[in-house]
Amino acid sequence: MAVISIERMGLLSVFCVCLFFSSAFAVDRGNFKTCDQSSFCKRQRALKPGQSPYRALLETLELSDSRLTLQLINDNNKVHLLLELYRLQGNMTRVKINELKPLKPRFEVPDVLIAEPPTEPLSVLSKDDNGIVLSLGAESQRLIVSARPFRLDIMEGPEVLLSLNSRGLLAFEHLHLRKDTQAQPDGAEVKESVDGDQQQDEVEKDEDGEGDKEQDGLWEETFKSHTDTKPNGPTSISLDFSLPGVEHVYGIPEHADDLKLKTTDGGDPYRLYNLDVFQYELYNPMALYGSIPVMLAHNTQRTMGIFWLNAAETWVDISSNTAGKTVFGKMLDFVQGSSEKPQTDIRWISESGIIDVFIMLGPKPSDVFSQYASLTGTQSFPPLASLGYHQCRWNYNDQEDVKSVDQGFDQHDIPYDFIWLDIEHADGKRYFTWDPHKFSQPKEMLQGLMDKRRKMVAIVDPHIKVDSGYKIHSEITSKDFYVKNKDGRNYEGWCWPGNSGYPDFTIPEMRAWWASMFAYDQYEGSMENLFTWNDMNEPSVFNGPEVTMHKDALHGKWEHREIHNIYGLYVQMATAEGQIQRSGGVERPFVLTRAFFAGSQRFGAVWTGDNAAEWGHLKISIPMCLSLGLVGVSFCGADIGGFFKNPSTELLVRWYQTGAYQPFFRAHAHLDTTRREPWLFGPENTALIREVIRQRYALLPYWYQLFFQAYRTGMPVMRPLWVDYPKDTVTFTIDDEFLIGSDLLVHPITEEGSRGVTAYLPGAGEVWYDVHTFQKHNGAQNLYIPVTLSSIPVFQRGGSIIPRKDRVRRSSACMENDPYTLYVALSPKKFARGKLYIDDGHSFNYDTKKEFIHRSLTFANNALTSSNLCPDCNFLTSSWIEKVLILGASKPSKVVLKMDGKETPVDFEFDSSMSVLTLRKPGMNAGDDWTLLLQ
């Protein structure tokens, strides 16, 4: 009876938690720390600039072909650090700082870099008592190491590009023994370092040389009812960076904030700590579900990046000498000849680990993207179907509900590719299972979808119900794969199933086992058209500190505090590997994750979490996804309509119009919201939603080509205007419109009751064509656009060619062999260029067998030509070119197709009012060489 009573109490607790989650409508800020409540952040932030105790011991310099090492000393406590400098291929510099002889090893983040970055030789140009000058090779780039105080400057010619520790905020809390204990940390060795005799006198001193005394949070910290024991004591690190000439910095997602990062003077720093934040607030720096510690700096001369490789809780301070100045003030500076150069200063603060930072020197935006991709990999190339429309809610009730929704799309002539199942589909929220009453025949359900060439996603979360009769739990227990608590027993916390264990995904064998569970003979009821959603993988622990795992939980010898921000990456990594393995390595996976880190782009898609049906949440989805794209994660989207609350009809329509032009296109809603399938809001609104979903499907060839480019180069699919117009200062703060690739500009309607919007069309001397009306507009202007509820302002850049499939069917797979229409938008010089990419849409054969078509499309000298970009590739398509529209054209006397040595006349029409030439049924295979001559 006692066991039953405890179980009932547990279920009641989870019920109460769920009730709280479903009834509250705003984040409880009190559940999450501010910097003042995070002892290491408060401690580090109290340090004053300009008082650095560190100096470089130049006599310890050692230089090899691949690296330079140099010792630093803290003159307050005599602790020595080891500085390592690497010149990396591709115009990057790596800086590592660690303790020279720590009591025990400090954590260094594994599995994020795709390989050890290749180096290039460093050479000493000069050296004296004050410092060292090193050559970085290209374009007179030099790295200057100043000795007292220690400082690094990267120069190009006479210009300082970036400085480290110029404000003297380097801080490195070294491992030491606690004064009131004689026992040493597990695995610790007696420290035999250059400061030997002074060690015991100094162990209780902080970085300023002041005693630990009774400072809060050094060896133990309490937040609300949770106490974090700190057996290693204070271990935080900090380093400042100065960026002369820079006013605009971006990145460090995930935050619900503007694209351009704000200064943090007088407020909290930006926080990077993966957390389950219930209906997050907008426009503040608090942490959300994912963390990518990468920042981009941009001005008209150069783009650079800083990658801070640390997976512990991290805070980022930003200050600027131009912050708060009005436009008038800046103009006054210019008129009066102010000599003050703009500068942005960044400070990174992490709770533990080492300093390991990659400085990406650009100089172009595309260079920074390729530099970062060379370190952490590119966006995985997704299956084509995953770029279509996804229909989800928490929860579709049962198999009949799934069937009814699926039929509803057909009845209303709306295409979709994936229908999703949330946590209620599983048997008692035991993942990898099906509710025996509601989903008793999962294969029958999946086969019904497969017959229509559609697919399903089912959720598999990384909290496992503690139940001895549950195979997954029993196997993880028997293999000892659970995260441990500080006492060495299995860590348990509350999540959706009740009492749950948390698999230790940092263990390679655990990830391999997890991957094996996706095999068709292990995951009963699964089929090849079932894919996966990893939610709650921050990890979310309802009764844990800040709704997550205790920092003193253990992953082998490492505390959770060291690895927290990469836990979600490991979950998605193991899940994606499971999908690949189940197909024998043939099929591409599709995995959506909520938590992420640097490198997560290699494993699938992300979304912006638990948003709300509010206009502000629609608007913020744009900068949130733009920020992710800048740091490698192109496959991003937000829940269409808002997860919480019920959207007005206008908001829902506007959200579909926005989401259709973002990379990941999924509608999703909370359990307590009213149903909102696209046809439930009257025929007029159904027609509006249908139309924009069909626009998405027509553009799938363009989206697919862009994802192929992102996979190859690291270029973001959805991007801010400044990426393609890096010298146009007007674009630097724009985040209510965006580019898809280089050639489509989208300005969604994100304000209630809008009668018109003003879009900025960049590019002096360029032209843009409205994709709906083909009206031509000049670049470098603000264009006022009257709008109705049916409007979604989208423009094609003059000088581009975009392939579309205008015959839209029930799913992307049904359109596989359909013909293409080419939209050729001419520049003022009557030139245009584009690409067409085709493969089977789902396998790795494009990579393993070079089975794809990649063609260059060029319009020049009144001729449109298709030529092969991959002569040794081998793929056949039955798709053909059905139509060509040339925007900005002149009327020809005739049009001739040259192909296979033959010339064939082509029918055409010319609209003189819009200067649009339409070529009908030229009839070429999409994979062939051909030329259309306008005579």
Number of H helices, E strands in the chain: 17, 53
Question: Cα(899)–Cα(930) distance, rounded to whole angstroms?
Answer: 5
Taking the C-alpha atoms of 750, 756, 761 and 764 in order, what is their torsion angle to the nearest 10 degrees?
-150
Start-to-end CA distance of the chain, whole Å, equals 91
> Position 503: which residue type?
P
CB-neighbour burial class of residue 613 (10 A; exposed 0-12, middle 13-18, buried 19+): buried
Vertex 582: Cα angle to 497 and 397 (nearest 5):
40
What is the CB neighbour count within 10 angstroms for residue 677? 18
CA–CA dist 546, 485 (Å, integer): 17
Angstrom CA distances, 666 to 420, 659, 670, 708, 828, stand at 10, 8, 13, 21, 38
Separation of alpha carbons 656 and 618, rounded Å: 10
Whole-number Å distance between alpha carbons of 436 and 913: 63
Beta strands at 270-272 and 314-320: parallel, antiparallel or unpaired: antiparallel
Q: Count other C-beta atoms under 10 Å from residue 160's C-beta.
A: 17
By the 8 A CB rule, do 825 and 766 touch?
Answer: no
User: Look-up: residue for tokens 């994750």?
Assistant: 593
Choose among 167, 169, 162: nearest CA to 359.
162
Region of residue 741 (phi > 0: left; psi between -120 and 50: alpha; otherwise: beta): left
- Which residues, at least 6 apart from 642, have a Cβ–Cβ distance to it below 8 Å? 611, 612, 613, 614, 617, 618, 651, 655, 669
Measured CA angle at 865 (ends 864, 866), to 5 deg:
135
- CA–CA distance, 671 with 395 (Å, rounded to integer): 6
Provide the annotated active-site residues: 535, 610
**What is the distance between the alpha carbons of residues 333 and 324, in angstroms, rounded to a whole number?**
14
* Cα dist from 364 to 243, 296, 723, whole Å: 16, 11, 9
What residues have CB less than 8 Å from 223, skipping those under 6 apart?
A: 33, 37, 545, 546
Q: Cβ distance 149 to 54 under 8 Å? A: yes
